[in-house]
Structure 1
């Protein structure tokens, strides 16, 4: 989501004082989402500066202004929120449905001074948070906020800065049985899985992020994941991995509940048997030395693929070897075989797909320029096995938000 930020600040920042990096701003990611933080904390997310200034607001102007009446999502990034600042945004807290707090501190009790006013929360995401700080300790009760009920909460994300035991997790899930999905860092899960065995959470989806520090590798937590699934803690499993290296070498077991796999960088890999049940694959980057053919032949249950950047040869590999594949989404299509300028040879792709026994029809989603140029090069725009479609970039980018 942050990749699509357009921060309207170019002209205003040119006139700020030399210490503008320490100033606090709020800007709208979209009509429903507000982002708050110090400007220095946003630099890694900003991809474009526009020439307008109507999106940028000082934090003190948030209170009761009409342009914030539609805000339902709030992201707070990398700074300490004081009681005075909380007072400024308090009028919008009751209407929030999504709260994301990343690498932040609070002057006072996290729950009592802030979260308890968010009475309509459906998503609560706490990322890179230090749970040892005073704001999470109230009258000698550690993680007081985990003792509370959140009646509408549907999704909970917790990736603390350390992997210490959090015994309050058991009570949290018992008091909030309406939670359907839970996202957690690999090390935090490894340290706390015993507290989750008998919670009867019955989650639809468990997300485990192996890109957060501290982290452990998949071979150390594979048995834990399968055990929690057998005990009914969750139904489906989504994994976020840095790569496909250091996978378990034992070929007698697999992650039977695995549904979705998000890979940060795809390069050399081995022992893919553990992941062969995956049916949705999301890849941020593919190394030029990656043998995509082997991946396509291994993931026989694969139904949907989302690739930030891929060559036409990558697409052809999945067309040839993934019989259950229904969709391929590619943000940026690079040159390769049977891709000429902006023309992708869909006739060839259709012929190759037809050769695969019991192959499902595949929709290939690419940018509209490729779709238009490719369709203009052929008389027939509808094929039995492969069709080109225009990609929905908003929906595509959401797939990369783990």
Structure 2
């Protein structure tokens, strides 16, 4: 545990010992005082007890009194980063403009993310929200038929903006004479252009201003876009001196996208050091040829597969650069031993649903694997009656692999608690079990 975590724990312990019980939905102050002996427990004891409770139970427990809320909130913050309490995002929309003034001023100060959507009169409507723009770190813009200067109306006020996301309104905001593309934004680190609307119509546009925008804003280190937009605008990047750390690209393996051309562009960009690493998100794939093209792309560290419609003999060929694999459904893959052997450097794997046998294959053949997350476990050899994982068996499998890393397996809360109550022991020398909420891991395109 880090020094910061230790200090935070001490602070919470002192607050619990010294604070007076606050108002409660379940207990009044007198009843709270009668229950005070349990509140004298060390926070380490609470953490041990909390591990046996569901997150729903913990939410109820934090409502009993002020001191218990402090203990639960600390436990959730440290152990379950995927669980979010309180404000984090507000949807700015003409349909809720009338309610904006009712927000608690203290809570509005916590808003770091905003979606600007569907304004009738941008200049007048945006004026109402100008007060929160300086504190925003993430801004998503989706305004059809946008009228006005994006820089003057919004971006010039966003002095702490780190992530700018343009979605579905790309032609309005990126095409023509959009002056905001000729400006510097020293805090922006992540820029996304998702042309979903034109993607569906097969009419992705060309935007010369993109090249100028990147040249003026070298602090941008992550660029996320679609296959069609990349194909139509690759000439603005090929041969340029633009350098970023990470390129995220999503799309489907359709004839319109032309995977041979897309993969060729990606390899050219990597060779000229436009990006250091690639995250590729495939919405749909239905043939092994395209799969082989994808796995031949250099610098691809993350591969996300959504709808996979391949034969049962489908596989992922040797991909030494790949560090993270995300698969929504394992239905169309059967030869997991071959796949695990081919992914020699894989470190993280995400499955929306999978059998325990799939986990076992990677335990046996993927020495560098450190994390595997399964939202829905569907049974298998190491999945026992009552929703219990045979961790001891998986640990034995792992021990047989020379140089194997310890693996954290993230599972649904019901599986976690069933295994904990049945076996009590959830950590072995090379395997540890945790709830899916214990890691803030979002596999999709962003």
Please confirm whether the aligned pair reaches a TM-score higher than 0.5, indicating the same fold.
Answer: yes
CA contact (8 A) 1:331 1:391 kept: yes
TM norm structure 1: 0.77
Q: Establish whether residue 363 from structure 1 lines up as the match of residue 399 from structure 2.
A: no
Q: Establish whether residue 260 from structure 1 lines up as the match of residue 302 from structure 2.
A: yes
TM norm structure 2: 0.70
Match of 1:302 in 2: 346
CA contact (8 A) 2:372 2:408 kept: yes
- Among 297, 300, 317, the alignment partner of 1:273 is 317
Cα RMSD for the two superposed structures: 3.2
User: What is the Cα deviation at residue 180 of structure 1?
Assistant: 0.8
User: What is the Cα deviation at residue 57 of structure 1?
Assistant: 6.9
Match of 2:90 in 1: 34
List aligned pairs for 1:127-138, cutoff 5 A.
127-131=167-171, 133=172
Q: Which protein is richer in helix relative to its size?
A: 2
For residues 286 and 272 of structure 1, what CA distance do their matches in structure 2 show? 14
Q: Deviations over 1:97-155 (max 9, x none)?
A: 11012364423222222222222211101012242x3x667xxx623221111011100
Q: Establish whether residue 158 from structure 1 lines up as the match of residue 199 from structure 2.
A: no
Give the number of aligned pairs.
352
Structure of larger gyration radius: 2
For residues 213 and 107 of structure 1, what CA distance do their matches in structure 2 show? 34
For residues 254 and 351 of structure 1, what CA distance do their matches in structure 2 show? 34
List aligned pairs for 1:181-192, cutoff 5 A.
181-192=222-233
User: What is the Cα deviation at residue 292 of structure 1?
Assistant: 5.5
Match of 1:95 in 2: 135
For residues 120 and 250 of structure 2, what CA distance do their matches in structure 1 show? 25
In structure 2, relative to structure 1, the CA distance for the partners of 1:379 and 1:29 (3 Å cut) is: closer
In structure 2, relative to structure 1, the CA distance for the partners of 1:391 and 1:212 (3 Å cut) is: same
- Among 150, 163, 170, the alignment partner of 2:211 is 170
For residues 123 and 100 of structure 2, what CA distance do their matches in structure 1 show? 12
Structure 1 unaligned residues grouped into runs of 5+: 1-27, 40-55
Match of 1:114 in 2: 154
Q: Which protein is richer in strand relative to its size?
A: 1
List aligned pairs for 1:118-267, cutoff 5 A.
118-131=158-171, 133=172, 142-160=177-195, 161=198, 162-211=203-252, 216-246=257-287, 247-248=289-290, 254-267=296-309
CA contact (8 A) 2:300 2:322 kept: yes
For residues 99 and 240 of structure 2, what CA distance do their matches in structure 1 show? 40
In structure 2, relative to structure 1, the CA distance for the partners of 1:251 and 1:154 (3 Å cut) is: closer
User: What is the Cα deviation at residue 389 of structure 1?
Assistant: 2.2
Structure 2 unaligned residues grouped into runs of 5+: 1-83
